[in-house]
């Protein structure tokens, strides 16, 4: 078992499926991702999705103290790249889920409207 897994209680599940090829995140990376996820949840529970959501979310993040990942020389650039990747990926899947939910609601509404039309037509022809 890797040293990272031995000292990290959050790695228990991952360790059960590890056959020697998995990498474990550093504490700083784990804390950064946790803070990003919490900030994302708070932001999108208060704000609607719109064309400038990514920019708005990144501006929102400026008010949060986030972990730096990596060495002194590369930490700022690496942390920025991680935040960018996280925000783009998370927003992609959030948008996909939102669109799926809206599509499902539209289909249900359309089915209800079709059912109402069928009932009206059957009443007229009786």
Q: Give the pLDDT confidence of 13-68 residue by residue, as tens digits.
A: 778 888 888 888 888 999 999 999 999 999 999 999 999 999 999 999 999 999 99
Q: State how far the Cα of 44 lies from the Cα of 118, in Å rounded to an integer.
A: 40
Match 């998995």 to its residue by tokens: 22
pLDDT value, residue 124: 58
The tokens for 109 are 């509404």
**How much is the pTM?**
0.74
Nearest CA among 1, 67, 5, 60 for reference residue 30:
67
The tokens for 30 are 């784990």
């Amino acid at each position: 078992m890797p040293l990272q897994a031995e000292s990290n209680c959050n790695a228990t599940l991952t360790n059960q499926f590890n056959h020697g090829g998995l990498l474990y995140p550093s504490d700083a990376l784990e804390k950064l991702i946790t803070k990003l996820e919490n900030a994302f949840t708070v932001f999108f529970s208060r704000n609607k999705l719109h064309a400038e959501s990514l920019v708005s979310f990144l501006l929102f993040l400026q008010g949060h103290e986030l972990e730096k990942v990596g060495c002194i020389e590369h930490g700022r650039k690496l942390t920025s790249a991680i935040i960018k990747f996280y925000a783009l990926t998370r927003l992609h899947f959030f948008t996909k889920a939102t669109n799926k939910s809206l599509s499902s609601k539209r289909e249900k509404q359309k089915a209800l409207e079709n059912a109402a039309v069928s009932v009206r037509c059957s009443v007229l022809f009786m």
